[in-house]
Structure 1
Amino acid sequence: MTIIRPERPEDFEAIDTVHTAGFPTIAEARLVRVLREAGRLTASLVAEVEGQVVGHVAFSPVSTATEAIGAGLAPVAVLPSHQRPGIAAQLIEAGLSASRSAGVGWAVVLGEPAYYARFGFRPARGFGLSDAYGGGDAFQALELIPGSLPEGAGLARYAPEFASLEV
């Protein structure tokens, strides 16, 4: 059975391990650390199986020129030994729910459109939102609270710590 819960300090090393194993570089593990240190993790959830942290998802603030604040979903990872049974999907759903419960009205993600469509994400350009990474259709948005997605707000800016992704 998989348990999804908020991260705790004793999980930090395991979270690093999950991201290091799930990505080709240490950039995402470093990103989570610097977001945490800056107090910008609005939701940080782990997936636990038999007492072991096997997955993690982070959400942090995203803002627009109109000063609308949403949530950026990034990164999400699952240990290779536990991929494919839907753990990442459980983490994402729980993170979106936590964001909604916290009053966050919308979320964005830069990821595979076919994968994130299952959660209701659609290309953000259809809402008049853009990203600084040239994501095209991979930059997607989801309204969590009806009427809150800032249509036509232009550039959605992730937290400054995302600059640490440059390896």
Structure 2
Amino acid sequence: MEIKIRQENKEDFESVFHLIEKAFEKEEYSDHKEQFLVERLRKSEAFIPELSIVAEVEDKVVGHILFTKLEIKNETQTFHSLALAPVSVLPEFQGKGIGSKLILYGHEKVKDLGYKSVILLGHQDYYPRFGYELCKKYNIKMPFDVPAENCMVIKLTENGLSGVSGEVVYPKAFFE
């Protein structure tokens, strides 16, 4: 199976909407509205077109990943980072490495654009394989109450989290 990874374009929006809807349909820890989140984020200042990425198999969009801007703030400093949310793969294509390819490709694009870290809320057993660590290790806190084991960050450069600590500030599109 050949998997093509590329930047999302406007012609993909409808298929990505349905893909995300199907990907999270049976997810226990989901509000089943991730597809609407992606629509809001595309219209926000946090959106970076190069970091909305799709996976295709035989010219069909089967996966999508989105990285958007966020900040980490403490009393004296503001640090720029990205949120990974969501990563979606059609159910019939899950378990075939598509999510992994999207994440790894996305990390390279993130580094190319000069970002040093990515934050996410996700499955504690899945994301560490890509180098994600617990946010609490870096004294990075979420702005809402979630289990610490699901709050993760990755540094994409050697000193990508050097001196970084504080509370994550998500773009308002996450909460609309």
TM-score w.r.t. length of structure 2: 0.88
2:14 pairs with 1:8: no
Alignment-mate amino acid for residue 35 of structure 2: A
Provide the C-alpha distance between the structure 1 equivalents of 2:164 and 2:6, rounded to a whole number of angstroms. 35
**Among candidates 18, 34, 40, match of residue 28 of structure 1:** 34
1:37 to 36, 43, 52: 43
Aligned-partner SS, 1:95:
helix
Of 133-142 and 120-129, the range deviating more from structure 2: 133-142
Q: TM-score, normalised by structure 1?
A: 0.93
Between the aligned partners of 1:121 and 1:132, the Cα distance in structure 2 is 19
Aligned pair in 2 of structure 1 residues 39, 14: CA closer, same or farther (>3 Å)?
farther
| Unmatched 5+ stretches in structure 1 | none
Structure 1's 151 and 130: CA in aligned 2 closer, same or farther, altered over 3 A?
Answer: farther
Report deviation, 1:39: 4.2
Residue of structure 1 in register with 2:70 after alignment: 62
RMSD in angstroms over aligned alpha carbons?
Answer: 1.4
Gaps of 5+ in 2: 26-30
Distance 1:83 1:8, change over 3 A: same
Q: Deviations over 1:51-96 (max 9, x none)?
A: 0000100000110112100011000110111111010111111111
Q: Which structure's residues are more often helix, by fraction?
A: 1
Match of 1:107 in 2: 118
Q: Point out 4+ residue stretches in structure 1 off by more than 3 angstroms.
A: none
Q: Distance in 1 between matches of 2:162 and 2:171?
A: 18
1:68 partner SS: strand
> 1:150 deviation in Å?
5.1
Larger mean CA deviation between 46-55 and 59-68 belongs to: 59-68
- Distance in 1 (CA, whole Å) between partners of 2:32 and 2:145 is 22
User: Are the aligned partners of 1:129 and 1:151 in contact in 2 as well (CA < 8 Å)?
Assistant: no
Partner of 1:90: 101
